[in-house]
């Protein structure tokens, strides 16, 4: 991943997060790791979650070099609902405040498998785990008028919620399962924003970040195209920065505003109609994971 500071890219480097407690799931790699480090540099107390104690300890060391107001590690496999509930219970017991939950852990799994709960793994890890964690931590988040940020993906486009395939891996496709789980993230965020009284719910598409561990399971040709995409993106970024400074010199205008890192991502039709989907779900007799 780029060594650029995420908080600078996001234009929040002057924020002071001291006194805030923030949980980042999937913080032991990729986007989550960069997020945790940025939050640490801004002074937050960072709760990091992952599966690997080696990676977690290494991140705790890195966080100790920042201005973080403390950092704690939690190890939980999100493929188990029981483990997710245990994690939430531990956090509720240990902390008297939680200002923000970053639901970031997730991945694209090329091989299909069912979890111990009998659920297709991608849906369990990418959607059910953050869903249960958010619900369990809701009382704590409510006390601080907290935030829930869920890392979804543009991959939610072009898919629909197929509840049939949630308990089977027959005809499993990693990409379809991934897209569906990311659509569920968006729908969940809408629903949470609707229902939650004081907390703020957002989801996001982080852009293609091929340097993260995300593509590790993908076939080599797809990984190669992602690396190519990354190379093109950084070349393009370099070129557009040069272009901006040329414009500045020529016109001597005030510095150009960077492209907003928080601009709204486009939402698919299915994702933008959660009310319609909810009505359809509640009118179906075999509710599955319905509301
Ligand atoms: N990279 C991209 O281009 C891209 C694009 C769109 C959306 N996203 C989304 O961004 C989020 C972060 O992805 P990333 O690219 O940073 O991936 P990453 O580098 O692979 O990091 C994923 C994190 O999630 C954890 N994780 C994976 N499976 C888990 C499980 N069963 N239980 C608990 N933790 C688990 C990983 O733990 P381990 O360290 O133990 O593996 C790791 O900490 C994901 O939700 C992904 O869908 C990424």
Domain membership flag for residue 233: no
**In contact, 291 and 281? CB cutoff 8 Å:** yes
Residue 100 maps to which CATH number?
3.40.50.720
Taking CB atoms and a 6 Å cutoff, what residues make up the pocket around ligand 1? Answer: 26, 28-32, 50-52, 55, 77-79, 104-107, 125, 151, 153, 205-206, 208-210, 212-214
Q: Which domain holds residue 118?
A: 6-219+260-283
Domain membership flag for residue 236: no
Q: 132: which residues sit within 8 A by CB, 6+ positions away?
A: 81, 84, 85, 88
Domain membership flag for residue 248: no
Domain membership flag for residue 225: no
Domain membership flag for residue 94: yes
Domain membership flag for residue 193: yes
**In contact, 135 and 87? CB cutoff 8 Å:** no
| C-alpha 30 to ligand 1 mean position (Å) | 7
Atom of ligand 1 nearest to the CA of 108: 47
Domain membership flag for residue 138: yes
- Our mutation pick for probing the ligand 1 site, out of 57, 74, 106, counting the most ligand atoms within 8 A of Cβ, is 106
Domain count, the chain: 1
Neighbours of 260 (CB within 10 A): 9
Q: Pick from 288, 122, 78, 271: which is nearest to 193 by CA? A: 271
* pTM score: 0.84
Per-residue pLDDT of the chain (291 residues; tens, 9 = 90+): 445 799 998 999 999 999 999 999 999 999 999 999 999 999 999 999 999 999 999 999 999 999 999 999 999 999 999 999 999 999 999 999 999 999 999 999 999 999 999 999 999 999 999 999 999 999 999 999 999 999 999 999 989 888 888 999 999 999 999 999 999 999 999 999 999 989 999 999 998 877 677 766 666 666 666 666 555 555 544 443 333 333 333 322 222 333 345 567 778 877 876 565 554 444 333 222 222
DSSP H/E element including 72 = strand 71-75
Domain membership flag for residue 243: no
């Amino acid at each position: 991943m780029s060594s650029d500071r995420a908080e600078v890219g996001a234009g929040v480097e002057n924020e002071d997060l001291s006194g805030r407690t923030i949980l980042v799931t999937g913080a032991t790699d990729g986007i989550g790791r960069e997020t945790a480090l940025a939050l640490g540099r801004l002074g937050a107390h960072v709760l990091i979650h992952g599966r690997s104690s080696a990676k977690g300890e290494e991140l705790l060391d890195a966080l100790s070099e920042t201005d973080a107001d403390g950092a704690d590690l939690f190890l939980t496999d999100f493929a188990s609902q029981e483990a997710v509930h245990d994690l939430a219970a531990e956090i509720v017991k240990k902390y008297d405040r939680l200002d923000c939950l970053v639901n970031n852990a997730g991945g694209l799994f090329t091989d299909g498998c069912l979890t111990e709960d009998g659920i297709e793994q991608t849906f369990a890890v990418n959607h059910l785990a953050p869903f249960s964690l958010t619900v369990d931590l809701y009382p704590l988040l409510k006390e601080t008028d907290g935030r829930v940020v869920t890392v979804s993906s543009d991959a939610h486009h072009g898919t629909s919620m197929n509840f049939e395939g949630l308990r089977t891996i027959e005809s499993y496709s990693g990409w379809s399962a991934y897209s569906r789980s990311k659509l569920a993230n968006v729908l969940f965020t809408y629903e949470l924003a609707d229902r939650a009284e004081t907390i703020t719910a957002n989801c996001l598409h982080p852009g293609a970040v091929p340097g993260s561990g995300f593509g590790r399971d993908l076939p080599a040709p797809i990984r190669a195209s992602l690396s190519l995409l990354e190379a093109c993106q950084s070349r393009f970024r370099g070129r557009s920065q040069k272009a901006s400074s040329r414009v500045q010199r020529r016109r001597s205008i005030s510095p150009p505003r960077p492209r907003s890192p928080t601009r709204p991502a486009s939402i698919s039709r299915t994702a933008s109609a959660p009310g319609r989907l909810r009505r359809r779900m509640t009118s179906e007799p075999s509710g599955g994971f319905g509301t």
